Structure 1
Amino acid sequence: MLRLRTTGEDLRQVSARLRRIDNPEIKKRFRKELRAVATPFVPLVRSSIRSIPSTRPYTADGLRGRMSKATRVEVRTVGRDAGVAIRVDGRKMPSNMKALPKGMEGTKRWRHPVFGNREFWVTQQPHPYFFRVVRPAGVAGRRAAARVVSSITRDVS
């Protein structure tokens, strides 16, 4: 599971205040605005996944297509892990491919059987696709999330 998070004590405090008040409209707006901050990152990550070099053409059923489909935004406004995350979720991959998003992003080579044949294994180089795309835009995303938190804080106070 790969994530980029915007978290902080301010977000936790706003979340706690929202739980205490009984205004579903503000809670809904808070989640919607946080999701809107992170949503522009998803097409960037998906495009980066599709551009991973391969000897085969891109297909929706291939590794790159499945990784692209597993990319999503997650907004949590409760608990210790309150925040916004862009995830390439291995849990959304087929059972034999759950570790592949992390392996492709990794810094070291990884091995896998050729088409599931456990007698023939190949070593594959990682092809970083996530952080090289998200990091440059991360500063703007954190600023936007801070604006959302401050806006909701003003409304709640």
Structure 2
Amino acid sequence: MPSSVQILGTGQLLELSRRLRTAGGPRLRQNLARRVRRAAEPLQRDLQQAIRTVQLPGPGRTVRGGPSPTSRPLRATLAGAVRISVRQSSSPGARVWLDKSRLPADLRNMPWVIEQGRVRHPVFGNRRRWATQWARPTGWWSNTVRNGTPRMRAEIERVLGDVRRDLQ
């Protein structure tokens, strides 16, 4: 199930955060935050691409229905809710997460539903008639996070090494 991916509070980040505060360099802190965010952006893009490419095949119809009662595209809406946050406070780090507040109320649980592979919804907004669509449980969130986290971690370690050299 989707949750946030966090690289927080490692010993190196905490020690570096303390040294940045004592050095008092706002330029260094901003530079660190910018580079940590850049390290997390590929994972965010990968997650957005993964949700955009999830296939939700329908049960098959012989007669085509009318237009969708909603104008919002499902996959693009879900992709827009994948966010990054960077902290430099007591637990510094980067977090890639799905912001449910950026989703419409009726789609708040949809990322988890798609991750499991079963989507049940009213047919063209008619709440008396429901359809079930099956997605292959592709693990659009968990597999993408598993594949992208080592790259993100390595990039952050490289950034920490660069900033540590700047402080010496």
What interval of TM-score do these two structures reach, taking the shorter chain for normalisation?
0.7 to 0.9
**Does the CA contact (< 8 Å) of 1:70 and 1:89 recur in 2?**
yes
TM-score under structure 1 length normalisation: 0.78
Amino acid at match of 2:97: R
Map 1:50-129; keep pairs closer than 5 Å: 50-55=52-57, 61-80=72-91, 82-106=92-116, 113-114=121-122, 115=125, 117=127, 127-129=138-140
**Does the CA contact (< 8 Å) of 2:57 and 2:133 recur in 1?**
no
Aligned-pair CA distance for 1:134: 2.9
Of structures 1 and 2, the one with the larger relative CO (CA 8 A, separation 6+) is 2
Cα distance between partner residues in 2 of 1:24 and 1:136: 33
Deviation string for 1:88-126 (max 9, x for gaps)?
Answer: 2212111232222233234x85x7552483x55666655
Number of equivalent positions? 151
Partner of 1:40: helix, strand, or coil? helix
Cα distance between partner residues in 2 of 1:19 and 1:101: 38
1:26 aligns with 2:28: yes
TM-score under structure 2 length normalisation: 0.73
Cα distance between partner residues in 2 of 1:30 and 1:51: 33
- Mark the runs of 5 or more structure 1 residues left unpaired by the alignment: none
Higher-Rg member (1/2): 2
Amino acid at match of 1:4: V
Q: What is the identity percentage for the equivalent residue pairs of Structure 1 and Structure 2?
A: 23
Cα distance between partner residues in 2 of 1:89 and 1:5: 14
**Does the CA contact (< 8 Å) of 1:35 and 1:84 recur in 2?**
yes
Equivalent of 2:153, from 136, 142, 145? Answer: 142
> 1:36 — aligned with what?
38
Equivalent of 2:11, from 6, 9, 12? Answer: 9
**Does the CA contact (< 8 Å) of 1:2 and 1:102 recur in 2?**
no
> 2:61 — aligned with what?
none
